[in-house]
Structure 1
Amino acid sequence: MAGKVRHLLNRDGRYFARLVIPPALRPYLDDKTELRTALGPDRRSALAKLPRAVAGLQHQIGLAEQRRKQVTGSGPTVSRYPLSAAQIAAVDYLSQIEFDAEIRMSDSRYAAAEVDADEARLYRDGYSGKLTDDELDELVGHRIRRAQLRGNTSAEKGSLEWRSIAHALCVASYEAMERQHERNEGVVTGSPSHPLLTNALAEKQEPEHVINFDQIIDAEVTRRARGKDAKPFPTSTIKKYRDPAAEFAKFRGSDNAATVTADEGKAWMEAMQDEGVIGNRTIKYKFQNVRTIINWARKSDPKNFLPTGNPLSDLQLPDFKTVPSYLRAFTMAEARLVLAAARNETHLIFRWIPWLCAYSGMRVSEAGSLRKEDFFESHGRWFWRVTTVGGRSLKNESSERRIPVHAALEAEGLIEFVKAAPTGRLFIGKTKADVQIQPRMSAWVRSLIPFDKRPELSPNHGWRHLFEDFCRRDNVPEDARRYITGRTDGGSQDMYGRSEVMLPGLAAAMDLIAPFDVT
């Protein structure tokens, strides 16, 4: 049985070239879901016509993309149907061969015409590297522009990629002229001799479904944002997936997620390990994020996208040593050092976030998103909310909580600071409001406690470890400790209640934690 060929559709014994229209472009193509070109009932003939027909369909997609860009101002960030220089040349060669056969069938004068030797020499000079970019542009530039419109490449004139494609197209035309000459002499069995074409034509066809990593991520972002009470992805989470996907695509030389193999995933992990720049823990997380992206696409379209399963699922992940929790936490001496330095800071981020985290176990990202409106009084005590209100994100549902203000924070002047602050975010950058708090805090702490002195310390998460130890030291009830730190043991009881009734009890639990002297 003949294998399945990409973009070739058999319907009741008749063949078609078929291309699925991306959803965003369907309004610009009469709301069709796909494009087809009839290729006839003969499979061999249909295969010969297929490359030219697919190129024509991609051309229509490209025109729709241009219309969309004119209307919306947005377009794809990568080529929609990327091909290598050799693949572009192979498509061009086969299209010329098919066109040659059509003309021979319709006009007897064509076979009597001699091949233009001067033109052939130009193509030979082109692929041998003798022509300048301008000369190549005049010779094959129009065909490169057609490939750009089809979404096969985004190479710009003057780049090495553009010149490589130009050379490859010169090979295609020179070889096509060779076939024309042979056919004029009655030889119909000729085939290319240049290895660029012979190798490209021998390549195995890709799977029919083609989708890049960014398209998968965009679709998942849209899915999670849909609905009245949706839980959309925060920007930082989207970046967490885009960055490793882009790295993996660059490593394997293709953004087509439908062609990912287990060997590529294994080679990528090993290459990162051999490079020795990042640790095994980070490599594991990068790989897992790429694997998750592929799982999203599988769940969305399991019939067409990698129907045999996610090729990255069964790969063994890197092992790594876990640093003991107590080594990641601040020591008391380090905590005193950092909090004392914070007292002398004028930048509000560094002035208050270390104190807030030290006496609450908050994540630095949570503290960085606090607003004046989050602070409130109840039963004569001050509290603050850790909430998703206002488009903020939290790690999980148990992270939504209310935290009593410790007496040490009141003595430090936190409430006076909050009362005097303008409405909105408490901690913003000096030049722009929206800043990444975590790397800034980490760098600031490391200026006080250098990495070479304490490599195990977690500059941001270390406060969370230290606060947990305060709770253990001062016998804070376990359920109060879990609630204040936003942790859960997975039981349904963790999400029950949580009304204002419990606030005095939380305040009493917070009061058990003895403040420490910062001098």
Structure 2
Amino acid sequence: MAGKVRNLLNRDGRYFARLVIPKELRPFMNGKTELRTPLGPDYREALKKLPGAVALLQHEISLGERRAAEAGAREVTMGRYPLAPDQIALRNYQSRLAFDEELRNTDPRYARLGLIDDLLVAKLRDGMAGRLSDSELAEVVGGRIERFRRLGNTTAEIGSEEWRTLARAMCISEYEALSRVAERDEGDFTGKPSHPLIAEAQPVADELPPVPLKVLLNDYIKSRVAIGKGRGADKRWQPVLLDLIDFVGHQDARRLTKQDILDWRDARLKTHSASTVSKVHLASLRTVLKWAVENDRLPINVAEKVRQEAPKKQLEREQGFTDSEALAILRASRSYLPAVPDNPANREAPQTTAAKQWAPILCAFTGARIAEITQLRKQDFRKEGDTHVMRITPAAGTVKAGGYRDVPLHPQLIDLGFVKFVEAAADGPLFYPQKKGKDALTAAQTIAGRVSKWLQTLEVIPEGVSPNHGWRHRFKTVGREQGISDRTLDAIQGHASKTAGDNYGDVTIKAKKAAIDRLPRYKLDHKK
């Protein structure tokens, strides 16, 4: 029996995100005992929405915690709500003026006194200028700093540079607040802070709702899928973001800092290659945060300038298969027959067998990506005149370049019986079993992985060459040897145009067929 999903509530067929409010916080949250957010009637959709909804509810509870801390009713972990010195100074300034307003409303004697301690003002000026020692600063503003320490806004230790910076900022804050008090004693309530530290301080962003990283990733992927791109990115990128969340201890993108990303990068370098950290970890995070900024979900991309140099890969051989290597792979593939196990339940699916027999040679004669081959369906093949044509289309799973492309079949494929294989196949995918609700892209990638793993067990794949991508390099090499233009080869393989001029005119099926027919046949009927 499946376990109960934490924080998910089902009431009469509708789902809610639910958090219980701790008893000691309820007086600071309008007496509520719990918080709920509706997620709709669909279970799968509710599960997708749950992390973001819980993050918003946790934010409400954290604000309740802070209200309780400000009222002295709850202890707060030091540094839980870190603020910059100017933000603390601004809060102190606002707190001082709010208290002044309260006293003027409740006790007329306060306004009549109109006393400003000139000695205190002088000390504040000295503190602003940096002329006071640590002990003198502590005497003047130490109590105010301690208040914000108890609220979890700072962990600065007295005597440190960080503490002195904050103390000087508090001197500025106190001095500006006293200036407003003096103005109010004269009936002038229009005064504004003049010191740039207070005047230009940005309001604290923690009153804004959190922006969960998981939600950002999901929304980014949806935006890409909507234009025919990004399929499968969630499975590649989600582990990266989960790792970052685990590292920083929260998933609020609004709270991320550049230093967080730098520390995370350095930690990952201890367990991953510089290339992986650069091209996977940092690249995926930068992309998601950039999208969030462009769509007004975040004000800045804190990962924008975080980079990691990676050593250039040193090639020790060509990236594509040589003639002898290609022959060894294709002969193994074309002669493949599955083992017959004692237990019928362990028999290999006929579609998997077909993939091992046909996928390598299809890659050899089309230069296609392996998953573009294993996702092929019966309806992706047709005949135009005397030409048999294969269509590689995102409708079958995915195409990296985004659009479909038509590729004529090489005569050797027809002679080997591939067209007859397609005609005899059932409707639907050729190389994986069709199951209701099963994602085509995932199924195609699974089969592609099985073909790769099988070839590696035969020890026919040379070191330094990708079992599947090696065909794309070889296709380009052989095509150039036959005098085929790069533009025609790019059109067959689905590579992007290199220049704006390449986008003018079409590479027709006739031109592609003429090119593919020039590719030499493989001698599969005998061994060297």
Deviations 1:308-336 (A, max 9, x none): x2111112223132344953322222222
Gapped runs of 5+ residues in structure 1?
Answer: 1-27, 29-50, 100-122, 124-190, 192-196
Residue pair 2:378, 2:427 contacting (<8 A) in 1 also: yes
Q: 1 CA distance for matches of 2:432 and 2:256?
A: 42
Task: Give the superposition deviation at 1:295.
Answer: 1.1
The whole-number CA distance in structure 1 between the counterparts of 2:238 and 2:500 is 33
Alpha carbons of structure 1 residues 381 and 450: separation in structure 2 relative to 1, 3 Å: closer
Q: Tell me the distance in 2 between the aligned counterparts of 1:279 and 1:449.
A: 29
- Within 1, Cα distance between the matches of 2:387 and 2:520? 17
What is the TM-score when the length of structure 2 is the normalising length? Answer: 0.59
SS of structure 2 residue aligned to 1:357: helix
Q: Are 1:260 and 2:256 counterparts? A: yes
SS of match in other structure, 1:322? coil
In structure 1, C-alpha distance between the alignment counterparts of 2:393 and 2:434, rounded to whole Å = 25
Q: How far apart are 1:271 and its partner, in Å? A: 1.7
CA, structure 1 residues 364+349, in 2 after alignment: closer, same or farther (shift >3 Å)? same
**Contact persistence 2:274–2:310 (CA under 8 A):** no
2:323 to 324, 332, 336: 332
**2 CA distance for matches of 1:441 and 1:279?**
29
Is the 2:370–2:448 contact (alpha carbons within 8 Å) kept by the matching residues of 1? yes
Report how far residue 95 of structure 1 moved. Answer: 7.7
Provide the secondary structure at the position in 1 that maps to 2:496: coil
Of 487, 509, 526, the match for 1:479: 487
TM alignment of 1:72-471, pairs within 5 A: 74=47, 75-77=49-51, 79-81=54-56, 91=66, 94=69, 97=72, 198=150, 200=152, 202=154, 207-209=206-208, 210-224=210-224, 230-233=226-229, 235-275=231-271, 277-278=272-273, 280-281=275-276, 283-301=278-296, 305-306=298-299, 309-324=300-315, 327-343=318-334, 344-346=336-338, 347-390=353-396, 392-397=397-402, 400-428=404-432, 435=443, 436=445, 437-449=447-459, 454=463, 456-471=464-479
Q: Distance in 2 between matches of 1:488 and 1:72?
A: 36
After superposition, the Cα gap between the structure-2 partners of 1:506 and 1:66, relative to the gap in structure 1 and judged at 3 Å, is closer
Q: 1:94 to 1:250 in 2, by over 3 A?
A: same
Mapped to 1, the partners of 2:324 and 2:513 lie a distance apart of 27
Deviation at 1:450, TM superposition (A): 7.6
**1: CA distance, partners of 2:369 / 2:43:** 44
Partner of residue 64, structure 1:
37
- Distance (Å, rounded) in 2 between the aligned partners of 1:321 and 1:473: 28
| Shift of residue 445, structure 1, vs aligned partner | 2.4
State the shift of 1:98 in Å.
5.9
Task: Report the 3-state secondary structure (helix = DSSP H, G, I; strand = E; otherwise coil) of the residue aligned with 2:55.
Answer: coil
Distance 1:199 1:408 in 2: 76
How far did 1:382 drift? Answer: 1.0
Number of matched residues? 364
Structure 1 residues 54 and 246, CA gap change in structure 2 (3 angstroms): farther
CA distance in 2, matches of 1:290, 1:271: 15
Q: Provide the rounded CA distance (Å) in 1 between the counterparts of 2:431 and 2:37.
A: 45
**8 Å CA contact retained: 1:349, 1:427:** yes
Larger mean CA deviation between 481-490 and 65-74 belongs to: 65-74
Say if 2:274 and 2:309, in contact at 8 Å, map to a contact too.
Answer: no
After superposition, the Cα gap between the structure-2 partners of 1:484 and 1:234, relative to the gap in structure 1 and judged at 3 Å, is same
Cross-structure match for 2:113: none
Distance 1:71 1:241, change over 3 A: closer
Conserved 8 A contact 1:273-1:283: no
Query: Contact 1:262/1:312 (CA < 8 Å) preserved in 2?
Result: yes
> In structure 1, the residue corresponding to 2:394 is in which secondary structure?
coil
Write the letter of the residue equivalent to 2:50. P
Q: Percent identity?
A: 22
Does the 8 A contact of 1:372 with 1:425 survive in 2? yes
SS of the aligned residue for 1:482 comes to helix
Corresponding residue SS for 2:367: coil
Is 1:515 the counterpart of 2:518? The answer is: no
User: Amino acid of the residue matched to residue 211 of structure 1?
Assistant: V
Structure 1 letter corresponding to 2:311: F
Aligned CA-pair RMSD: 4.1
Contact 2:378 2:430 in 1 (8 A): yes
- Paired with 2:27 and 2:296, the residues of 1 have a C-alpha distance of 26
Whole-Å Cα distance in 2 between the matches of residues 470 and 489 of structure 1?
A: 20
Residues 374, 386 of structure 1: 8 Å contact kept: yes
Q: What amino acid sits opposite 1:336 in the alignment? A: L
Residues 423/350 of structure 1: CA separation in 2 closer, same or farther (3 Å cut): same
Indicate if the aligned counterparts of 1:488 and 1:494 stay in contact, CA closer than 8 A: no
* Aligned AA (2:304): S
**Matches of 1:72 and 1:420, distance apart in 2:** 40
Q: Which runs of 5+ in 2 are unaligned?
A: 1-13, 15-24, 76-142, 144-148, 157-203, 339-352
**Aligned partners of 1:247, 1:239: CA distance in 2, in Å?**
13
The equivalent residue for 2:86 is none
TM-superposed deviation, 1:292: 0.9
Higher Cα Rg: structure 1 or 2?
A: 2
* Of 208-217 and 351-360, the range deviating more from structure 2: 208-217
Measured after TM superposition, the shift of residue 80 of structure 1 is 1.1
Contact 1:480 1:506 in 2 (8 A): yes
Aligned equivalents of 2:453 and 2:253: distance in 1? Answer: 36
- Once residues 58 and 486 of structure 2 are traced to their aligned partners in structure 1, the CA distance between those partners, rounded to angstroms, is 59
Task: Select between 279-288 and 349-358 the one with higher mean Cα deviation.
Answer: 279-288
Q: Per-residue displacement from partner, 1:439-458 (whole Å, max 9, x unpaired)?
A: 3233222212388x61x111
Deviation at 1:409, TM superposition (A): 1.3
SS in structure 2 opposite 1:403? strand
